[in-house]
Amino acid sequence: MNFTKESGKPRYFVIELIKMIEIKDLHKSYVMGENSLHVLKGIDFTVKEGELVAIMGSSGSGKSTLLNILGMLDEADKGSYYLDGKPIKNLSEKIAARYRNKFLGFVFQSFNLITYKSALENVAMPLYYQGMKRNERNKKAMRYLEKVGLADWATHLPNELSGGQNQRVAIARALASEPKVLLADEPTGALDSTTSYEVMRIIQSINDEGKTILIVTHEDDIAHMCKRIVNLRDGVIIKDSKINQVRTKSATHV
Amino acid sequence: MFNIERWQEIFDTIRKNKLRTFLTGLSVASGIFILVVLLGFGQGMTNGVAKEFEQDATNRIAVWTGVTTVEYKGLNPGRFIELKNEDYDLLIKKYEDDIEFKSSVFRIWNGIATYKNESGNYRVEGVYPDYQFIENASLSAGRFLNYDDHNGNEKVIVIGHKVYRDLFGKKEAIGEQVQISGINFKVVGVFTDPGGEREESKVFLPLSTSQRVFAGGNTIRNLGFTLKPQRTFQQAVRQSIIFTNEIQSFLQERHIVAPEDESAIDTWNSLEEAKRYYDLMDMIKLFFWVVGICTIVAGVVGVSNIMLIIVKERTKEIGIRKAIGAQPWSIIGMILHESIFVTAIAGFLGLIFSMALLEVVGPNVEIDYIVNPSVNFNVALTTVIVLIVAGALAGFFPAWRAARIKPIDALRDE
Ligand SMILES: Nc1ncnc2c1ncn2[C@@H]1O[C@H](COP(=O)(O)OP(=O)(O)O)[C@@H](O)[C@H]1O
Ligand SMILES: [Mg+2]
């Protein structure tokens, strides 16, 4: 039985919320020649469906390393990782690709859009790898572009868009495959504060629809727009607490 | 390969990376182009040498004389050796069994031929009827000289095609009277010769007539023979060398010439030359093959390089595609598909373009020793396929590697 407070009214849930991410004793070292850098030194934490978690920590504390492992872009050396109840361990490349495609959406600080493809084509990429037909995937990609307020920019190339717009394209791309979890590594790191808030507003609204989201950030104000903050230092979690979410003002779409 | 979505994706990529596609295509197309043109000219050279060689009977043996250069048996150098009808008669009797065709030749110096207002300076020679075969001439009109002409000292001539064109243009020549150095001769034939214009600028008349009319007495300028065919080329070469040496010694003895005095009595043995030509042709062929193979190797290296660079350049893109869920094989497939498509199109364009060039220019090439450069289509096609496969292989390994590494490592690539 879980109890949450929403809009000041107490409500009772009768179902156990699904554990979307569950990691135990996660370790990761980077080996460079003779030296080995122990970055993650035994991380345990659980994220339930619908959570909006900020992972904080100073630069070099291992935030990105953790998120990359959660996003299956990298592998842990030790420990267990369950994604939506499925063990992520020794997967074949094929299965790993399918999980990345179906379960995970990743947003990078540097956007990582394909430079020669338009906004729409970038958003449609994950759907291509799902084997969706061109018309269908373009329609769906368009819906997600509308969602991030960029329908009018669908045919533009990344270099014709601003940083904030590019990040919104990247978010639309991450969402297009309807993943279970959205992971964002400093999504506002390359943006000024106004555009940062715009991006956070979109993230909050997606979370309102029930999507589980993890954000890496080192900015306090961004972290406080989430519902839970996990603090990392020297490769371990030093603090993990629920907070009162700061809502972004619902700005008008650009 | 028949996945339409994949094709669309490839076309999108090609359309949006025009420069890359163009450069890849250009290097493949120009590689093929160079190779085909090169092989074409190799063939042209082979053809040219072969043609040079067709101008006379392939087993022609010639003997001619000059001035002695060495003192021999008390005789001073500087003597002019003059062959006589007797020499010829003795030789053909002695080698009756070996000889196929035979003729002695009396050359008329300053042979000016005139017909009406047209005249020209040609090589005029008195010969026996067999000479047609020694020269490898064929008649385009009328007949060649025969033994009746010879026995009757007839004033008849056979003219080369060039002479015919110069003097008659397109008019009928047979039966017409042509003056050779002021004396009238009746044209009985016009001949062509695979040796071309130079060989077709000759006028032949019966040997007996030439000696009588042009005050030759019983002297002759040179001798020509061909030998009866042998079973193998090697045997023919050996026999002709022996024959040539024997007649040379025979004549040296009769005219008291030192055995080593090449300028007094000289010989020419086509077959021996033929062997040299064949060896040369083999060398030319070998040379062009070596150059051709080097070109292919250079092409393969070039295409491989381009593929390596393309994959390197696209490593980050591959990382992105992997991060959003691309299967490793779909990435390898994408790169190979594009590579094969581009090299194939470019390769065939280069092939078509170069073949067209050879087709158009080839027959018009009229340089000595290069005749009708052309190329074996299968060889060219094989080359294109080799380049496509090389491009695919060269693309495969880096693509395979890129598709295997962790997405984060590919993404980190700048
Ligand atoms: N690929 C790598 N090879 C070696 N060291 C790395 C690599 N990636 C990160 N590191 C190191 O690991 C530590 C943690 O990095 P990271 O997870 O990116 O930190 P954060 O995102 O919290 O700033 C840093 O000291 C960084 O230098
Ligand atoms: Mg980081």
Q: Would you list the DSSP string of B273-320?
A: HHHHHHHHHHHHHHHHHHHHHHHHHHHHHHHHHHHHHHHHHTHHHHHH
Q: Any chain A CB within 8 A of the CB of B18? A: no
- Measure CA A37 to chain center: 25
Taking the C-alpha atoms of residue B184 and residue B205, their distance in angstroms, rounded to an integer, is 12
* Minimal C-alpha gap between A177 and chain B (Å): 9
Token pair listed for B350: 């280069």
pLDDT, tens only, B395-413? 788 888 888 888 998 888 7
Domain residue spans in chain A?
18-242
Task: Name the pairing type of β-strands B177-180 and A9-13.
Answer: unpaired
Per-residue pLDDT, A252: 46
**Whose CA is closest to A74, among B410, B260, B30, B381?**
B410
Q: What is the pLDDT of residue A82?
A: 95
B204: which residues sit within 8 A by CB, 6+ positions away?
A: B124, B125, B126, B127, B131, B144, B145, B157, B158, B159
Nearest to B133 by CA among B199, B208, B226, B204: B226
Give the mean pLDDT of chain B: 85
Do residues A40 and A235 lie in contact, with contact meaning Cβ atoms separated by under 8 Å? yes
Taking a C-beta distance cutoff of 8 angstroms, is the pair B197, B162 a contact?
A: yes
- Angle between helix B270-313 and B328-361 (nearest 10): 150
Which tokens go with B39?
Answer: 């092989």
C-alpha A238/C-alpha B312 separation (Å) is 41
**Ligand 1 lined by A62 (C-beta under 6 Å):** yes
The percent of residues above 70 in pLDDT, for chain B, comes to 96
Residues of B within 8 A of A129 (CB-CB) are 321, 324-327, 330
> For A189, what's the count of Cα atoms within 13 Å in the CB-facing half-sphere?
16
pTM of the model: 0.69
Closest CA to A246 of A195, A212, A201, A213: A201
- In the prediction, which pLDDT does A45 show? 92
Determine the Cα–Cα distance for residues B144 and B152; give it in Å rounded to an integer.
15
Candidate from B9, B406, B411 with C-beta closest to A75: B406
Could you tell me if A144 and A66 are in contact, meaning their C-beta atoms sit under 8 angstroms apart? Answer: no
- Residue B29 corresponds to which tokens in the numbers above? 């197309």
Q: Which alpha helices (H) appear in B72-206, and where do they start and end? A: 85-94, 131-135, 147-151, 161-168
Segment among A50-64, B54-68, B114-128 with least mean pLDDT: B54-68
A235 lines ligand 1 (CB under 6 A): no
Q: What is the pLDDT of residue B55?
A: 67
Can you count the helices (H) and strands (E) in chain A?
7, 12
pLDDT, residue B125, reads 93
> Longest C-alpha distance within chain B, in Å?
105
Structure confidence at residue B54 (pLDDT): 66
Left if phi > 0, otherwise alpha if psi is -120 to 50, otherwise beta: which for B345? alpha
Chain B contact present for A75, CB below 8 A = yes
B8 touches chain A (CB under 8 A): yes
Three-state DSSP state, B105: strand
Do residues A87 and A21 touch, judged by C-beta distance below 8 A?
Answer: no
Q: In angstroms, what separates the C-alpha of B320 from chain A's closest C-alpha?
A: 7
Q: What is the pLDDT of residues B318-355, one digit of tens each?
A: 999 999 999 988 889 888 888 888 888 988 898 888 88
Question: What pLDDT is recorded for position A127?
Answer: 95
In contact, A181 and A155? CB cutoff 8 Å = no
Q: Identify the pLDDT of residue A1.
A: 44
Task: Judge whether residue B303 has pLDDT over 80.
Answer: no
Per-residue tokens: B400:
């395979």
Instruction: Report the complex ipTM.
Output: 0.89
Neighbour-count burial of B298, counting CB atoms closer than 10 A to its CB (0-12 exposed, 13-18 middle, 19+ buried): middle
Q: What is the pLDDT of residue A40?
A: 95
The crossing angle, in degrees rounded to 10, of helices B328-361 and A93-103 is 100
Return mean pLDDT, chain A.
Answer: 89
Q: Do B325 and A117 touch (CB under 8 A)?
A: no
User: How confident is the model at residue A253, as a pLDDT?
Assistant: 46
DSSP class of residue B221? S
Mutation for testing the B interface, residue in A98, A106, A155 having most B CBs under 10 Å? A106
CB distance A63 to ligand 1 below 6 Å: yes
Our answer on whether the CB atom of A40 is closer than 6 Å to any ligand 1 atom is no
pLDDT of residue A61: 92
Which residues lie below 8 Å from residue B119, measured CB to CB, with a gap of 6+? B112, B113, B167
**Closest chain B CA to residue A94:** B327
When the candidates are 3.40.640.10, 3.30.450.20, 3.40.50.10860, 3.40.50.300, the CATH number that belongs to A18-242 is 3.40.50.300
CB distance B320–A113 less than 8 Å? yes
Question: What whole-number distance in Å separates Cα of residue B316 and Cα of residue B313?
Answer: 7
Is the minimum distance from the CB of A135 to ligand 1 under 6 angstroms? no
CA distances from B216 to A26, B84, B86, B187, B223 (A): 116, 10, 14, 22, 15
CB of B320 within 8 Å of a chain A CB? The answer is yes
- Segment A99-134, tens digit of pLDDT: 999 999 999 989 999 998 999 999 999 999 998 998
CB within 8 Å of A97: residues ≥ 6 apart: A129, B322, B325, B326, B327, B328
**pLDDT digit string, tens, across residues A155-168:** 999 999 999 999 99
For residue B161, the model assigns a pLDDT of 94
Residue B53 is predicted with a pLDDT of 66
What one-character DSSP code corresponds to residue B80?
A: B
Spell out which residues of chain A touch residue B8, defining contact as CB-CB under 8 Å. Answer: 134
- Cβ atoms of B173 and B120 within 8 Å: the answer is no
Contact yes or no for A130 and B12 at CB 8 A: no
SS3 A247: coil
Specify the residue for token string 């270099």.
A159
| Confidence band, pLDDT 50/70/90 cuts, at residue B277 | confident
Place of tokens 């290097």: B27
CA of B289 from ligand 2 middle (Å) equals 58
Give the minimum alpha-carbon distance from B307 to chain A in angstroms, rounded to a whole number: 19
A138 lies within 8 A of chain B by CB: no
Q: Counting every residue, how long is chain B?
A: 414
Chain A (193-252) residues lying within 8 Å, Cβ to Cβ, of chain B: none
Domain boundaries, chain B: 4-52+276-412, 60-271
Determine whether the shortest distance from the Cβ of A31 to ligand 1 is under 6 A: no
A126 to chain B nearest CA, in Å? 6
Instruction: Write out the H or E segment, with its range, that includes residue B386.
Output: helix B377-404
How far is the C-alpha of B227 from the C-alpha of B247, rounded, in Å?
Answer: 13
CA distances from B127 to B131, B132, B203 (A): 6, 9, 10
**Is the minimum distance from the CB of A109 to ligand 1 under 6 angstroms?**
no
| Ligand with minimal distance to A56 CA | 1
Mean pLDDT across B299-306:
80
Please check the confidence at residue B370 and state whether its pLDDT lies above 80.
no
CA distance A19 to A49: 6
